[in-house]
Amino acid sequence: MKFKAIDTIVKRSLWGAALLAGAGVFTLTAGNTGDATLDRLEIKVGGTNVLPDFNPATKTYEIELDENAATLATFSAAPSSRNAVVDIDINGKTYTNHTLGSLQGGENVITYTVRNGSETETYT
């Protein structure tokens, strides 16, 4: 058994040396896809997260604030993948992640778009 293990190590080392010497050209492609989900999504009004029950599998949420409450809020999200990019759209205006934006009294449409490679997920 010892000889077999040493033989395997030597063969792997020779294979690695051959690759480094240019004996073969190999391209490893992971594909252009990735995880475009969120681990965390927050809308904080007055320091309180008004979306405490976030679930990555749920893509649509509805929250109610006082009808007359025009207010500032902090909008942020943590993507599941560190390679993902999050854009936030608040009532038709695009913001970057971890931003301060205004909420109007009445209905507000907030969209978090997560992109990672060719994958895209949208949370509204």
- CATH number where 81 lies: 2.60.40
* Domain annotation covers residue 24: no
Per the structure, the complete domain to which residue 69 belongs is given by 38-123
* Domain annotation covers residue 106: yes
* Domain annotation covers residue 11: no
* Domain annotation covers residue 74: yes
Closest CA to 113 of 91, 92, 93, 85: 85
Residue 10: the pLDDT is 40
H-helix segments, 1-122: 2-20
Residue 65: the pLDDT is 75
Residue 6: the pLDDT is 44
Each residue's pLDDT, cut to its tens digit, for the chain (124 residues) gives 444 444 444 444 443 444 344 444 433 334 445 899 999 999 998 888 989 899 999 999 998 777 766 688 999 999 999 999 999 999 999 999 999 998 887 788 999 999 999 999 999 9
Residue 95: the pLDDT is 93
Find out whether 103 and 73 touch, Cβ atoms under 8 Å.
Answer: yes
Find out whether 101 and 72 touch, Cβ atoms under 8 Å.
Answer: yes
93 contacts: CB under 8 Å, gap ≥ 6: 101
Domain count of the chain?
Answer: 1
* Domain annotation covers residue 93: yes
